[in-house]
Amino acid sequence: MLFICFSLIITTNPKEEEVPVMSYIVANKIIVIDPGHGGRDTGAVRGDIVEKDITLSISQKLAKELSQAGAAVILTRNSDTDMSQEGEKLTKREDLTARVKKANDNNADLFISIHTNAETNPRWFGAQTFYYPKSEASKLLAESIQAELTRILGNTTRKALPGDYFVMENTEMPAVIVEVGFISNYREGRLLLDEEYQGKVAFAIFSGIVKSLIPEESDK
């Protein structure tokens, strides 16, 4: 089998940085991307910044990166919808359960949930990745993604942290939640509306996924 090492380019401030990525590593992996919220569930809102819209846009960009590298990508939603059955009253637990079920039913290798953060204090900023504390594989994935967010975005010093979240606890594969930034912070909120910046966020997550899988493959 011939493995090809691709060299991908991403623009950072202010120069272009070449990022070598062994993207073959995700070929044939089943990766579920979960854009947080959707439909009647807007998520956090600050003025014209709506969480459900940002999470979908970044998730679609991430899906494109992964698909081009050969991964089988499944989005829990690919439009402005929630995960309840038609005619059902939406409850948060039903919505989250449907997202988990989609990942488990498809025997996914990885589950990546995309969200934004928001606080009453506008000073807080920075993307951050969370993992289920009882899963070492999830921790390694989260740390790899966080390292790439830090390196590529250049505007966060946050660390990957454990968290007891329903989707991570109930999925049967390594799972993380990526909070891509604080929409309550004026500067970061405006950045998260920018298509180019969204692309950088998606690329950073993609690069983190790829790098997290390299040790797993090299041991085989």
Please tell me the number of Cα atoms within 13 Å of 84 on its side-chain side: 14
Residue 29 counted as domain residue: yes
When pLDDT is cut at 50, 70 and 90, the band that residue 93 belongs to is confident
27-45 pLDDT, tens digit each: 999 999 999 999 989 999 9
pLDDT at 90 over 50: yes
Mean pLDDT is lowest, of 23-37, 60-74, 80-94, 155-169, for 80-94
Identity of the residue numbered 104: N
Residue 128 counted as domain residue: yes
Q: How far apart are CA 145 and CA 196, in angstroms?
A: 19
Residue 219 counted as domain residue: no
Q: At 101, which CATH number?
A: 3.40.630.40
Number of domains comprising the chain: 1
pLDDT at 16 over 80: no
101-112 pLDDT, tens digit each: 999 999 999 999
Residue 86 counted as domain residue: no
Please give the mean pLDDT across all residues of the chain.
89
Domain that holds residue 169: 6-81+91-214
Q: What is the pLDDT of residue 23?
A: 80
When pLDDT is cut at 50, 70 and 90, the band that residue 19 belongs to is very low
pLDDT at 6 over 70: no
Residue-wise DSSP of 150-188:
HHHH-S-----EE---HHHHH-SS-EEEEEEEETTSHHH
Q: What is the pLDDT of residue 82?
A: 86
- Whether pTM exceeds 0.85: yes
When pLDDT is cut at 50, 70 and 90, the band that residue 89 belongs to is low
Residue 12 counted as domain residue: yes
